[in-house]
C-alpha cells in the first residue's frame, strides 16, 4: 500500500506538487487564523488584553510572512540562488552599519511595548476606579485617555530618537505653534481647563437635574469642551465649560431627595394652629410626599389679605415630573381639607375707610358748577346744580 502511494506521488509533475503545496499553505493559514481566534479569549483571561493581542498578532504576522516567503520561492517569483550566492557576512555588516533593519525592529518593538503598556494601564485604572465610588465612568475614561496619550507620546519620542530626528527644532516649532494657538483659541483652551476641573470636582453627573445660567434641565453629556443639557421643553442646550465653571450651579438631584414649599393664605379669623394641623395631615396622605422627613407647616408672614402659611414637604428621586405632580396633589389635598373644615383661603382685597376726625366718607348731594361759554362760542346759560348721582335739577344727565 505504501509502495503504491509513493509510486503515485512519483508520477506527479512539478506543477502538481506546487499546487498541492500551495493548497497546504493556504489551509495552514486558515487554520492559523482559526486557532488565533479561539486562543485569544483564553489568553485575555490569563494576561492583560494588550499583551494577548500582541502575542496573537505577532504570531500571525510571523506565520504569514513565512507563508508568503514560501509561496514566493515556490512559484519562482524570487530566485532561490540568492540565498546561497549572497555574502551574508557583508550583508549583516552593512545592515549593522546603516542601522536600517535595527531601527525598524526597535520601532516595531517600541510601539508594541507602548501598546502593551497602554492596555495594562487601562486595566489598572479600571480596576482601581471600580473599587471606589468617588470616580464616575466619564472620569475613568478621561484618566485612561490621558495616561494612554502620555505613553504614546513617550514612545513616539523614542522612535524619533532611533531615527536620529532632531527634536530641538521640533520642540521650538511646537512652542511657537502653542503660543499662536493659545492666543487664537483662548476661549477653547479655557473651556478645556474648565472641563478637566469639572470632571474632577464633580458638581454634577450625567442624568442630574441642574440649573446653569438660567437654563434648567437634565445633563445628557459632559465633554472636555462643553456640557450639554436637555431642557424640559425638549431643547438641547450646549454650554461651554468655561461658562459652567464661572456660573452658579444648582443640582437638585445630588442629595437624592428635594424639599418643595408651597405658600397658602388663610383668613385672619381662622385658627392658624388648626389650619396648620389640617394642612400637615393632608400632605401626609399624598403618595409622592415623603413621610420621613415629615411634612411641616410654618407661619411665614402677615399678608395684605391673609396669614401666609408655608407648606414644606420632601420628594424622593427628584425630577421635574415628580415635582409638579407632587405640588399639584398637595395643593388639591390642602384645598379640599380647608373646604371641609370651612377654612377660607381669601383672595386679595382692599378695604377703604375714612378718618373719623374728618367726618369719614361723605357723598356730595348738591354742588354748583358755573357754566361758561361753549366751545362753539355760545353764551352762558347760567348755573345748574348737580346732585351726587350726576343729574341736574331738571333731570338731565350730565
d(CA 373, CA 381): 8
* pTM recorded for the entire structure: 0.51
Helical ranges in the chain per DSSP H: 2-10, 14-46, 49-74, 81-85, 88-98, 100-130, 137-162, 167-184, 186-201, 241-245, 272-284, 320-341
- Render the burial of 251-283: b for 16+ CB within 10 Å, e for the rest: ebbbeeebebebebbbeeebeeeebbebbbebb
What are the tens digits of pLDDT across the range 280-295? 999 999 998 998 889 9
Residue 390 — very low, low, confident or very high, per pLDDT cuts 50/70/90?
Answer: very low
Instruction: Look up the CATH number of domain 203-251.
Output: 2.30.30.60
What's the chain's average pLDDT? 77
In the predicted model, is pLDDT for residue 317 greater than 80? yes
Residue 98 — very low, low, confident or very high, per pLDDT cuts 50/70/90?
Answer: low
Q: The C-alpha cell of 312 is what?
A: 414644606
Q: Which residues contact 364 (CB under 8 A, 6 or more apart)?
A: 388
Residues forming CATH 3.30.70.100 domain(s) in the chain: 257-341
Residues forming CATH 2.30.30.60 domain(s) in the chain: 203-251
Phi (first) and psi of residue 249, to 5 degrees: -110, 125
What are the tens digits of pLDDT across the range 182-207? 666 666 667 777 777 777 777 888 88
Instruction: Look up the CATH number of domain 257-341.
Output: 3.30.70.100
CB 226 within 8 Å of CB 220: no
- Residues counted in the chain: 398
- Averaging pLDDT over each range in 141-145, 171-175, 195-199, 241-245, which range is the top one? 241-245
Residue 391 — very low, low, confident or very high, per pLDDT cuts 50/70/90?
Answer: very low
Amino acid at each position: 500500500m505504501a509502495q503504491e502511494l509513493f509510486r503515485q506521488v512519483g508520477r506527479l509533475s512539478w506543477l502538481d506538487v506546487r499546487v498541492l503545496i500551495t493548497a497546504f499553505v493556504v489551509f495552514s493559514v486558515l487554520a492559523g487564523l482559526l486557532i488565533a481566534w479561539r486562543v485569544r479569549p483564553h489568553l485575555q483571561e490569563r494576561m492583560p488584553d494588550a499583551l494577548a493581542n500582541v502575542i496573537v498578532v505577532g504570531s500571525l504576522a510571523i506565520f504569514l510572512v513565512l507563508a508568503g516567503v514560501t509561496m514566493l520561492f515556490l512559484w519562482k517569483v524570487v530566485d532561490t540562488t540568492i540565498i546561497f550566492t549572497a555574502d551574508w557576512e557583508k550583508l549583516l555588516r552593512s545592515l549593522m552599519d546603516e542601522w536600517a533593519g535595527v531601527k525598524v525592529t526597535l520601532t516595531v518593538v517600541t510601539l508594541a511595548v507602548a501598546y502593551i503598556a497602554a492596555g495594562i494601564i487601562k486595566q489598572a485604572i479600571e480596576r482601581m476606579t471600580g473599587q471606589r465610588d468617588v470616580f464616575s465612568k466619564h472620569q475613568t475614561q478621561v484618566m485612561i485617555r490621558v495616561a494612554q496619550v502620555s505613553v504614546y507620546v513617550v514612545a513616539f519620542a523614542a522612535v524619533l530618537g532611533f531615527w536620529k530626528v532632531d527634536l530641538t527644532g521640533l520642540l521650538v516649532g511646537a512652542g511657537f505653534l502653542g503660543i499662536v494657538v493659545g492666543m487664537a483659541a483662548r476661549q477653547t483652551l479655557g473651556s478645556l481647563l474648565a472641563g478637566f476641573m469639572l470632571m474632577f470636582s464633580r458638581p454634577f453627573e450625567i442624568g442630574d437635574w441642574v440649573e446653569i445660567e438660567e437654563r434648567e434641565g437634565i445633563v445628557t453629556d459632559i465633554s472636555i469642551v462643553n456640557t450639554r443639557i436637555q431642557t424640559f421643553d425638549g431643547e438641547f442646550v450646549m454650554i461651554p465649560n468655561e461658562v459652567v465653571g464661572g456660573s452658579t450651579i444648582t443640582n437638585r438631584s445630588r442629595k437624592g431627595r428635594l424639599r418643595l414649599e408651597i405658600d397658602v393664605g388663610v383668613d385672619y379669623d381662622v385658627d392658624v394652629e388648626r389650619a396648620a394641623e389640617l394642612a400637615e395631615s393632608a400632605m401626609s396622605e399624598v403618595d409622592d410626599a415623603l413621610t420621613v422627613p415629615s411634612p411641616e407647616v410654618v407661619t411665614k408672614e402677615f399678608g395684605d389679605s391673609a396669614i401666609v402659611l408655608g407648606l414644606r414637604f420632601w420628594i424622593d428621586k427628584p425630577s421635574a415630573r415628580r415635582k409638579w405632580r407632587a405640588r399639584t396633589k398637595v395643593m388639591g389635598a390642602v384645598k379640599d381639607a380647608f373646604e371641609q373644615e370651612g377654612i377660607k383661603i381669601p383672595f386679595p382685597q382692599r378695604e377703604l375707610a375714612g378718618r373719623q376726625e374728618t367726618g369719614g366718607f361723605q357723598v356730595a348731594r348738591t354742588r354748583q358748577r358755573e357754566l361758561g361759554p361753549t366751545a362753539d362760542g355760545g353764551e352762558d346759560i347760567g348755573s345748574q346744580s348737580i346732585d351726587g348721582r350726576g343729574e341736574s335739577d331738571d333731570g338731565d344727565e350730565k
